[in-house]
Each structure stands twice: as structure tokens, then as C-alpha cells.
Amino acid sequence: MYKFYFEKLDTWNKAGVLVKEIYKATSSFPDSEKFGITNQIRRACTSITANIAEGMCRSTEKEKSRFINISFGSCIEVINFLIISNDLSFLDDINYEELRLKTESITNQLDALNKVLNKQKS
């Protein structure tokens, strides 16, 4: 089976692991949050991987960079919902810290990737 370029990226793979961990962590959130925080954090997390994948198939570095920026914004959105989930005691401190550190690591990688793309388009 052919592997697309995005599938070879460490950032995309780490984000895929984060998606699974977010789904697992949010499965214990209150049912009243099914269409609230649970839905929002899951959508934001899957947006990270989706935008990396879509961006890497674009033909110019400028377009790629735009999608990486969107992915970065989705990471920040995930961090926002992690904070809220921890504040509401949906996530304990240990899970919060683990998920936050993983998300921050992805933001760092996305930032580095974006810097490379911006150098190439200059």
C-alpha cells in the first residue's frame, strides 16, 4: 500500500496518537457534555491531523503553510478545552498534564515545520 507524505511525518503520527487519547479521555465526560466540550475537543483534535494531511498535498509552500497554521490553531483550541475540562474536573491533573504536554509538543513541531515552509517560499 502506498504511503502519502503526510503519513511519514512524525507530527501527523503524534497527532494521531493524541486523537486516540483524547477520545479515550473524553469517553468518561458527563453525558450532558456530549454535544458540548466532548464534541468540540474531539473535532479540534481531529482537525490537527486533517489539516496536516490536506496541507501536505498542496502544491505551494504558501498553501502548505496556511494549513499548518490552521492545524496549529486547532492545537491551541485543544489546549483551551483541556484547561476547561480540568477546571470542571472532567480531567484529573495527571491526565490533563499528559495531554497538554503532548499537545504542546505537537505545536512545537508544527511551528518548526511552518518555519521550514516559510523559508522555502522566500
pLDDT, one tens digit per residue, over 38-48 is 999 999 999 99
d(CA 120, CA 122): 6
Report yes or no: 61 and 120 within 8 Å, Cβ to Cβ. yes
Closest Cα partner for 43 from 79, 19, 7? 19
Residue 121's pLDDT is what? 61
Residue 122's pLDDT is what? 58
Q: Which domains does the chain have, with CATH numbers?
A: 10-121 (1.20.1440.60)
**H-type alpha helices, 9-92:** 10-26, 37-56, 61-87
pLDDT, one tens digit per residue, over 62-93 is 999 999 999 999 999 999 999 999 999 999 99
